[in-house]
Amino acid sequence: MDRRGFCINACQIASLVALGSIFEDCGGSPTSPSGSAPPLTKVNGSVASGAVTVTVDANSPLASVGGAALVQSSAGSFLVARVGQDTFNAMTATCTHEACTIDGFTNSVFQCPCHGSQFSTSGSVVRGPAGQSLRRFNTTFAANVLAIAL
C-alpha cells in the first residue's frame, strides 16, 4: 500500500471511530435515563375550596412514612411523599428540565422518564439535567385527609 492509500484508510477509520463515539454518547449521556424507576401509584384527588384533597386510608400508597404517589386532579398532577407520621411533601409533577411528567419513584427519589432527572422527596434536584427544584405546595393532614393548597 502506498502512502496516499494509507492516509485515506487511516482517515476513514478515524471518522468511523468518531462517529461511533457520537452515537454512544447519544444513548449513554447523563441526559438520558440510565434506567427506569418503578412507576408511582396514581391516586385521584378532588378539587374544592382552593385545595386538592386525597383520602389516605390503609390501602393508600401514602399510608406509611416513605410512601409516595402521583396525585392526579383537574388542577394538575402532584408528586406526594409521606415524610413523617403527619407530614407530607407535595410538588408539581412537571419536570423543570423539559416539562415531562415525572412518574417514577425508587429509593426515596422521584425520576423523570424523559431525560433521567431525579428529585428528592423535598423537590430538590438530586441529578440533572434539570437545574431547578420542583415547585412545592403547602399541605395539611387531618382525619385521614390530605389537602394540597393550590
In a domain, 18, yes or no: yes
Tens-digit pLDDT profile for residues 18-33:
544 433 333 334 444 4
Tens-digit pLDDT profile for residues 125-146:
999 999 999 999 999 999 999 9
Same domain? 48 vs 112: yes
Same domain? 126 vs 76: yes
The domain tally of the chain equals: 2
In a domain, 4, yes or no: yes
Same domain? 20 vs 53: no
In a domain, 79, yes or no: yes
Same domain? 81 vs 7: no
Q: What is the pLDDT of residue 65?
A: 96
Q: What is the pLDDT of residue 31?
A: 43
Same domain? 10 vs 50: no
**To the nearest whole percent, how much of the chain has pLDDT over 90?**
73
**pLDDT average, residue stretch 75-100:** 96
Same domain? 143 vs 71: yes
3-class DSSP state for residue 104?
strand
In a domain, 35, yes or no: no
Same domain? 46 vs 26: no
Q: What is the pLDDT of residue 78?
A: 98
In a domain, 92, yes or no: yes
Q: What is the pLDDT of residue 24?
A: 35
Band (37; pLDDT cuts 50, 70, 90): confident
Question: Residue written as cell 394538575?
Answer: 76
Same domain? 122 vs 86: yes
Q: Is the pLDDT of residue 15 over 90?
A: no
CB 130 within 8 A of CB 112: yes
Same domain? 94 vs 58: yes
Same domain? 110 vs 130: yes
Same domain? 11 vs 78: no
Same domain? 83 vs 119: yes
Band (93; pLDDT cuts 50, 70, 90): very high
**pLDDT average, residue stretch 31-41:** 71
Enclosing domain of residue 10: 1-30
Residue in 80, 74, 117, 125 with CA at minimum distance from that of residue 99: 117
